[in-house]
Chain A
Amino acid sequence: MHSTVIVGAGPAGMAAAVVLARAGEHPIIVDEAEQPGGQVWRKPAAPLQPALARILGRAAAAEHEQAHAEFASIAASVDHRPRHLAWNLQGGELFVIEHRRIRPLRYGALLLATGATDRLLPVPGWTLPGVFSLGGAQTLLKDQGALIGRRVVFAGASPLLYLAALQYKAMGATVVAVLDTTALPEKLRATPALAAAAPRVLARGLSYMARLRAGGVAIFHGVTALGIEGQDYAERVRFRCSRGAEHDLAVDAVALGFGLRAETQLLDLAGVPLAFDVDFRQWLPIVDGDGRAAPGLYAAGDGCTIGGAAAAAISGRLAAYAILADRGVAVPATEVAMLRARLARLRAFQRALSRAFAWPAHWLADARDDTVLCRCENVTVGVVRAAVAAPLGPREVNRAKALTRCGMGRCQARFCGLATAELMAHALAAPVATMGRHRSQAPVKPIPLDATLVDEDTP
């Protein structure tokens, strides 16, 4: 039995480990990646380390370095297990796999800091080579200093479009345009709430836009009818601007960013209830303010509520204090109160952002029938629509999966599930929450068949 196991070495998991280690604990932290950092604080390959500030921008690089320095300072007290996938959670055991060795881990407390992935929206051509998710485009950059293309369009509904576009520009890419699907008035409406919650973060975001404009990058707001075309890879992006004019841009790569979706499978496997969040338009686990999900089970970071890296780190610390407090260890009350207040502000900011950059789920109402919806099983929008319209057709997503294979493949509907629910809701003229969510089944990600079970204590 290990006292505390943390899943995920991103901002939330790292921050929680720091609190636990400083309280004299020796947590295990399992993580899929080679190095700690998660997505936001991803460490570049060693030769790129000196270029960090150039890649990320100075402010982000400073936060990045501080987080890693703090985590490094507790290295001796933490059992960090990189390249470990936590693939199942059952009966008080967390099953992890590392290079074909499956190990069950028993724990006193389990903190799930599993983060988020990009949320995808199927637009025509989105599965063409050269089209990346925004997070994928940033991962390439941070991890390898590589770019997805030389002439890149950043499109979608996300404030991170502007940051990524700047990062790409700084690295020498031609940013052909930023195509923001949200309208300017919507964003202006959200500004007071954003300014109230986190003025500095807002200022930083606005400066990204200004710097892009100053650098001659075209920014379009209120973009509709977005589609990507090309013979064998992305060659053109077509869209309609807010004035109604049709545009056609030559590109060799496209990054699509439609916000984030929480990775909730392990919480779901543990039986933690999820509720539909109307702002983030996705299912999020029901936990208390400090991340308590069930006895002995805690959640923090974007896998719990979309909040961004700063909020993730704070929620990680709060969850660590909750673990300690639930064990009867005294925790610093003033600090906890301060963390709660900061977390509330940052999450309110993110909630306001989610309204300003609402993902255009209504596009699915008029999505073309031949658009791929589930890329793993190559199921189109038309196939799901036809199933819904048939006698005794599906009325929620799991049934649609059973009948059409939509969401049945490698990603287990992690990437098509939200869009499928929106599509069905439009087809049935029903609220999206009534379309349900895909039930999680192990493994969280595919594991090799030739894996074998080894004893918990086998090295």
Chain B
Amino acid sequence: MTVLRVNTAIVGGGLMGCWTALMLRRRDPGHCVCVIEKGKVGAQASGVNYGNLRIQGRHPGQLPLSLRAASLWERLPDLIGEGCEFDATGHLYAARDDAREIAKVETAARQASEAGLATELLDARALAQRWPWLNGFSMASWSPRDAIANPRLVTPAVARAARAHGALIHEDTAVHGAARTGAVFRIDAAGGLTIEADTLINAAGAWAPEVAGWFGEGAPIVPAGPPQFVTDAVPYFIRPSVQAVDGTVIFRQVRQGHVVVAGYPRSPSDPVANRAPVDARKIVNAMGHLLRAVPALEGATLLRVWSGIEGYLPDMLPVIGPSGTTPRLVHAFGFCGHGFQLAPGVGDVLADLVLEGSSRTPLDRFSIGRFADGSAEVAEHFTREFDRSLQVQAVAHPGAQRTR
């Protein structure tokens, strides 16, 4: 048996865990950090998501965190030494000719400007002028600061940077259990590895409720994923990332020419069997939506579909912050399919909590306690953007304590 003594142990080598490790080491080179990952870093939701670095259109409570993250993404090569196809393409949050959709876009634009993000509301004529290939939207909010990056590359690159800064990264190391004795966490991991840590960070994604359960708390995570697909390479012309507010189609083009597409409703995925099936009918639907939005893609082909195992919570907000039961246990999970952009911000905020005890970025909306005290609500889009079976599963026990 090997015992490893660290200051902070991070369960989960996804984007959250790796950014946290990097930020801790950058800010305090004497702080000993270990990431424990059951498989490979960034192999789950961090690696198979759509790659959207969208700031606008988020819950207003997330905007300060999202803006903090944006300023870190914009320094990506400085921070990790690699670009990972980061590209500030801008983002269009687009409404069809529908009063509810238009109101939603207008609200998002207002909330963005209140938070300090510059956006521009464009009518159909302005859209046609700037992006003549775009079809079927009556207005949109344009956020030039929003960006994209390649999710397959980012987490391994952040992990390499963290390691170069002295963080320990243990891949293929499942955590079997953890407990706090006195002021020390003891974490039992695969291969007879025991880690002792002052602080434990639960960044285990869709598997995080199990970790929380060891400390008597939980959150009603729903594992799901949107159907996603990629087209064959076509000449590069789709410059901003575009999102229909109803989520029927979200698309961006990469420099190699492939168009990456996601669409709702999301389907259930299985964290136990590690499978994220993609419904063929949903793909065919999303293909139709894409062609209506960009008729010039007629003649392109569908290359591959995939989905992922993302952790969703019924109020569509993540859990970020201290445990309600255990001192120096910090949670960061349940990013509801929009964690990719937040990740460096989350890493920096968790470093605040670990090194300084508090963060200047407001986290009150993200407390794990909201599920225990019943204050968490079911978000309106949770009822629209998911398969019916998933809604029933989550709404049935929104405040349930998930202990295994």
Contact = CB atoms under 8 A, between A and B. Distances in A.
A441 interface: yes
A448 B301 contact: yes
Given A90-B280, A392-B171, A410-B232, A447 B40 contact: no
A174 to B, nearest CB: 38
Nearest to B297: A449
Contacts of B40: 392, 395, 399
Contact of A442 (B164, B283, B291): B283
Nearest to A440: B304
Given A390-B160, A391-B163, A446 B287 contact: no
B284 A453 contact: yes
A90 B277 contact: yes
Interface in A427-459: 441-443, 446-453
Interface in B36-74: 40-41, 43, 47
B386 interface: no
A403 B156 contact: yes
Contact of A449 (B164, B280, B287): B287
Given A392-B169, A451-B284, A453-B284, A446 B305 contact: no
A102 interface: yes
Interface of B: 40-41, 43, 47, 152-153, 156, 159-160, 163-164, 169, 171, 231-232, 256, 277-281, 283-284, 287-288, 290-291, 297-306
A409 interface: yes
Nearest to A412: B304
13 contacts: A88-B280, A90-B279, A102-B284, A390-B160, A392-B169, A402-B47, A442-B283, A442-B304, A443-B302, A447-B302, A449-B298, A449-B299, A449-B300
Contacts of B287: 449-451
Given A451-B284, A452-B288, A453-B281, A446 B163 contact: no
A392 B277 CA distance: 28
A439 to B, nearest CB: 9
A442 B288 contact: no
Interface string A257-286: 000000000000000000000000000000
Contacts of A453: 281, 284
Contacts of B306: 441
Contacts of B159: 392
Q: Which of A102, A104, A403, A449 has the most chain B CB within a 10 Å cutoff? A: A449
A153 B284 CA distance: 44
A442 B299 CA distance: 19
Contacts of B281: 453
Interface string A132-170: 000000000000000000000000000000000000000
Contacts, number: 79
Contacts of A441: 278, 304-306
Q: Which of A93, A405, A412, A443 has the most chain B CB within a 10 Å cutoff? A: A443
**Size bin of chain A's contact surface:** 20 to 34
Contacts of B156: 392, 403
Contacts of B163: 391-392
B303 A410 contact: yes
Contact of A446 (B153, B297, B301): B301
A412 B301 CA distance: 13
Nearest to B169: A392
Nearest to B273: A271
Interface string A67-101: 00000000000000000000010100101000000
8 smallest CB-CB distances across A and B, nearest first, come from A446-B301, A402-B152, A449-B287, A453-B284, A88-B280, A441-B304, A449-B300, A447-B302
B277 A391 contact: no
Contacts of B304: 408, 412, 441-443
Nearest to A453: B284
A205 to B, nearest CB: 39
Contacts of A451: 284, 287
B303 A446 contact: yes
A101 B277 CA distance: 23
Interface string A387-410: 000111001000100110100111
Q: Which of A90, A392, A442 has the most chain B CB within a 10 Å cutoff? A: A392
Nearest to A409: B303
Given A412-B303, A442-B304, 11 more contacts: A392-B41, A392-B159, A399-B40, A402-B47, A446-B301, A448-B300, A448-B301, A449-B290, A449-B298, A450-B291, A453-B284
Contacts of A395: 40
B291 A449 contact: yes
A392 B284 contact: no
A93 B279 CA distance: 11
B144 to A, nearest CB: 28
B311 to A, nearest CB: 20
B152 A403 contact: yes
A450 B299 CA distance: 7
A267 to B, nearest CB: 16
A448 B299 contact: yes
B10 to A, nearest CB: 15
Contacts of B278: 441-442
A402 B160 CA distance: 16
B47 A449 contact: no
A95 B280 contact: yes
Nearest to B230: A408
B284 A443 contact: no
Contacts of B305: 441-443
Nearest to B275: A271
A442 to B, nearest CB: 5
A447 B230 CA distance: 11
Contacts of B153: 403
Interface string A401-424: 011010011101000000000000
Contacts of B160: 390-392
Contacts of B284: 102, 451-453
Contacts of B47: 402
Nearest to A445: B301
Nearest to B171: A392
A392 B279 CA distance: 33
Contact of B280 (A392, A442, A448, A452): A442
A409 B290 CA distance: 20
A399 B291 contact: no
B255 to A, nearest CB: 12
A452 to B, nearest CB: 7
Contact of B301 (A88, A104, A442, A449): A449
Contacts of A391: 160, 163-164
A90 B163 CA distance: 41
Contacts of B291: 449-450
Nearest to B37: A392
B157 to A, nearest CB: 9
A454 to B, nearest CB: 10
B220 to A, nearest CB: 27
A292 to B, nearest CB: 23
A13 to B, nearest CB: 23
B34 to A, nearest CB: 15
Contacts of A377: 256
B309 to A, nearest CB: 14
Contacts of A390: 160
A399 B280 CA distance: 25
Contacts of A443: 302-305
B231 A449 contact: yes
